Amino acid sequence: MSSGISRKAFLRATGVALAATIAGCNSIADNGGSNTETQTSPQSERQNEDSPTFGNFYVGNADTSSSTVIDGRAEVVYTRPETATDKSPVVMVPGLGLSPYIYRTTPDDRRGWMEYFAEAGHPVYVFNPPRNVDSGGLDTGALQNSDSASLSRWSIDRAWPTWGFGPEVGDPYEDVRYPVESVDQLVASFPAYVSTGGGGGGRQGGGQTGGRGGDQNSTSADSTATAGTQTGSTTGGGGGSRFASPQETAALEALLNRVGPSMLLVHSAGGGSGFAVAQAVPDLVERIVAVEPVGAPTDPQTVAEMGGDAPFMGVYGDYVDGRGQAGRKEATQTTADLAEETNPASTLLSLPDEGISGNTHLMMQDDNNGEIADRIITWIGD
């Protein structure tokens, strides 16, 4: 591996980071009342010979003056090349109800995008949204006293058709790129996350049990129920802002303030917070990569404000019509077209149009995830 990063070291270190995450999650009830400032200057994250190669830290504040269920804390899992480079950091944001797992590895134990991007010389920081129970931003006391929030979790019955594995659970498309034979590992990775009436996951009649902490089906931002059309002309550009809580956007902004100007890679409902932050701190966003995003903006002013005319790349897989997400792709195409007017590097990478079939919503774990990573890395370097 060109950066000196070994697979054995990568897996060993990420296992240690995961253990630290679990330990932090187990003690959340004890530290939920603390108000810990974790933001630092960008200079503090600059790599030197003493910098650890793998690890995790937390950004954002626990705001004890608010009664919101989600406070401002968020975990960040990182990996850096063993040899320092001058390449920009890449900040990765997962979709709703997903965790850093989707970037760290694959269900069949292949390399994840974290490792691919680090091999290319980029420090990689993966944001774990505060609404995820395993991240740190959950106020358990507020959740117990809330009538409008509960815990949700993806079910494979909803995820399978929605994410393009096949028409129904257990029936994969012939050319599906996802390692469906190991899908149990993906299911095991699903974190419980906070679902609220205002777009934090949504309730579906018959799909949710309604209990707090239960194993509930989610229709959420990634489902066919909410992703069929994109018509907005605001920051959300089709509803994405509904899935970006102020706490989440503040924590993501804190991460960018800590690591400095970065490439922002967002996935699905992570687009809502990513696009909002790209508007709020454009000087900290050098490029935007949006993998099948929710909330791609469709008005010129919003697109122009994101990253201060930063190049934009949308990425889409296969079976989009069958997933009920054609409108979402059309909005992303509009974003790319508008961005191209001021930055010719902007584009939409539609994998089927490139002759690459079978890619899913979780293309960062598909069997050709390295090929897709290489295309994005090449674009970043242009």
Question: pLDDT, tens digit, for every residue of 118-151?
Answer: 999 999 999 999 999 999 888 777 888 888 888 9
For residue 201, pLDDT over 50 is answered with no
Torsion of CA 180, 119, 339, 225, to 10 degrees: 20
In a domain, 364, yes or no: yes
Q: Of 85-94, 203-212, 269-278, 280-289, which range is least confident? A: 203-212
Whole-angstrom distance between the N-terminal and C-terminal Cα of the chain? 22
In a domain, 195, yes or no: no
In a domain, 55, yes or no: yes
The tens digit of pLDDT for each residue in 307-357 reads: 888 999 999 999 999 999 999 999 999 999 999 999 999 999 999 999 999
The mean pLDDT of the chain is 80
In a domain, 156, yes or no: no
In a domain, 280, yes or no: yes
Contact 368, 359 (CB under 8 A): yes
Confidence of residue 227 (pLDDT cuts 50, 70, 90): very low
In a domain, 183, yes or no: no
pLDDT at 62: 72
How far apart CA 129 and CA 73 sit, in angstroms, is 9
Confidence of residue 261 (pLDDT cuts 50, 70, 90): very high
In a domain, 245, yes or no: yes
Domain count along the chain: 1
Task: Give the H/E segment covering residue 40.
Answer: none
Contact 15, 8 (CB under 8 A): no
What are the b/e assignments for 193-207, b being 16+ CB within 10 Å? bbbbeebbbbbbeeb
C-alpha R_g of the chain: 19
The tens digit of pLDDT for each residue in 3-50 reads: 444 444 444 444 444 434 333 333 333 333 333 344 444 444 555 555
In a domain, 174, yes or no: no
Which CATH number covers residue 297? 3.40.50.1820
Structure tokens at 24: 């932090």
Phi, psi at residue 131, to the nearest 5°?
A: -70, -15
pTM above 0.85, yes or no: no
Domain of 95, in residue numbers:
7-139+228-381
